[in-house]
Structure 1
């Protein structure tokens, strides 16, 4: 059976925080969760666009400012969530940038690594104790097929200061999303309530490609109807990871079509590099040092 939005269970009484929810995959994720009864927080950088998005959603929706390029903003957003909600059931780390020219965040991190990985790492650590007591709570982080393309964790030049390739930098950030998920799940396993899951949308028709080089963007524009899928379909792997009762911690969901480019969500596997436990743990320590955020879950023992 194809897993569609019809399989999303009722979400009444649950609180879901979705980053980057004013457009594209995040908007569709937030919309469907709200329609199923969840109280959804649109965590967005642009409050005006967030309010316009909220007005298009039927259900209990609020908007909160979150700029993942600023650790100050991340801390402020986390503090606001903590002051407003006694619990969070779903944290969906969806927001991201792709193929940006060489830029840095306000804290001096390379833009793609800082936004896609470090911003979400910090946010998760700052609100995780609101999820830990909640049975069935989940942290869902959105990765990409790009985690396979020229992707490695460049500990000797994480911020791409010596040389910069926008495709490789994006690949690093999306590989980091997966490694974060797998290491987080190991740390959560001892608690028995919250789980960490990853998903990817395949090749979806969203604004994410706006920074792609012209040599990539123009063919995508012409071929979009043939090679991409609508954002509503691209959001389904995230929604399955967030709501399917059969999902287990540490799993990864993506489209079931050829190359995982299009289709309905199913359990998939990530690249061999993404399962390297020693690199996952080293990345975790580096991420804690860079963000100054410590998680309320300790390092798990790893079987020999």
Structure 2
């Protein structure tokens, strides 16, 4: 896209977005936090923005606070039937797909299809949504990951993806965020192999003060994160910058964008690194194969050739 525009301090900001008139974007989880800021900024820059949200009333309230062209559509990433319904209702080109929605460190729960809630929502829901919409995507897919992929012990537990043999909310969240990066890596490989111009990129907000942390199941962890929000976190507006940068700047496929400050907790958006585990092409391919099996959704970039059969689902 256009050359970077920076604010008076020389840093990339919400005012750095180019003119997005004529472009269409879908932002999942756009009714609050980073998702709302992302949708608001894209709409202000001229894009038509679809707020893909689980609660339509909250989505409509959010859209009412945005100046620009918006639309609200229901999407529950914890329900593959809802994901298929959303994708089936899509018509026309889609320039930007922003996979932003997520849940964090919940007590043990399952999705409607029987998957562990964090893996099912953060990874499998977006995996299915992306592949079902991919024949419409013209520019890029941005998936919001997290520094949690660096947590000790973060791994894809192929022998127990649902943590049936001992649930740990932190390990389950770290697995889902590592999955986001591996998904981006393998999606880009497949797009390149298919000769598609679409780019798959990832971003993380650093430590941003949003309501995501307030939903942690452990009250002690919730209290510590709320305290951390007050002491260390940047605003949700600053936290959205890496996502927006990844969406509009000329970054390479499979790039990862995060804050440039200490420990990537805050700062201006820049290209950042990832762990060896998040760069493992073999694990990325295996995760993709497993995800296709679990969701029943296959990779396809050809218009009209989307596969969306029934997923396996587990009770």
TM-score (norm 2): 0.90
- Asked if the contact 2:196/2:301 (under 8 Å) is kept, the reply is no
Q: After superposing the two structures, state which structure 1 stretch, 213-222 or 263-272, moved more.
A: 213-222
Of 205, 212, 237, 1:232 maps to 237
The separation in 1 between residues aligned to 2:226 and 2:279, in whole angstroms, is: 34
Deviation of 1:107 (Å) = 0.2
Which aligned segments of 4 or more residues in structure 1 are displaced greater than 3 angstroms? Answer: none
How far apart are 1:122 and its partner, in Å?
A: 0.1
Query: Are residue 172 (structure 1) and residue 175 (structure 2) matched?
Result: yes
1:87 aligns with 2:93: yes
Match of 2:32 among 23, 42, 53: 23
What SS does the aligned partner of 1:69 have? coil
* Structure 2 match to 1:247: 251
Equivalences for residues 179-198 of structure 1 within 5 A: 179-190=182-193, 191-198=195-202
| Aligned twin of 2:85 | 76
In the TM superposition, what is the alpha-carbon distance from 1:219 to its structure 2 partner? 3.0
1:30-109 alignment, distance < 5 Å: 30-82=39-91, 86-109=92-115
Query: Quick one: distance in 1 between partners of 2:136 and 2:33?
Result: 27
Residue 8 (structure 1) aligned to one of 6, 13, 17: 17
Match of 2:280 among 276, 280, 287: 276
- Provide the residue aligned with 1:301 in structure 2: none
Which string of whole-angstrom CA distances, capped at 9 and with x for unpartnered residues, describes residues 185-239 of structure 1?
0111142410000000011111111232222222333342321111110000000
CA-atom RMSD in angstroms = 1.2
For each residue in 1:122-153, what CA deviation from the matched residue of structure 2 results, as whole angstroms up to 9, or x when unmatched?
Answer: 0001010001xx3xx00000000011113100
2:262 match: 258
Q: What is the rounded CA distance, in whole Å, between the counterparts of 1:113 and 1:179 in structure 2? A: 13
Give the Cα–Cα distance (whole angstroms) in 1 for the partners of residues 260 and 169 of structure 2. Answer: 27
Aligned to 2:208: 204
- For the Cα contact (< 8 Å) 2:135–2:301, is it kept in 1? no
Q: Aligned partners of 1:160, 1:40: CA distance in 2, in Å?
A: 36
Residue among 118, 123, 127 paired with 2:129: 123
Distance in 1, Cα, partners of 2:167 & 2:224: 24
Write the deviation string for residues 27-86 of structure 1: whole angstroms up to 9, x where unpaired: 00000000000000000000000000000000000000000000000000111123xxx1
> Offset of 1:297 from its aligned partner?
5.0
1:101–1:211 contact (8 Å) kept in structure 2: no
What are structure 1's unaligned runs of at least 5 residues?
299-304
Q: Is the 8 A contact 1:70 1:105 kept in 2?
A: yes
Matched, 1:222 2:224: no
User: What secondary structure sits across from 1:58 in the alignment?
Assistant: coil
**Deviation digits for residues 145-174 of structure 1 (CA, Å, limit 9, x no counterpart):** 011113100000001111100000000000
Q: In structure 2, how many angstroms separate the alpha carbons of the residues matched to 1:224 and 1:127? A: 35
Q: Which has the higher helix share?
A: 1
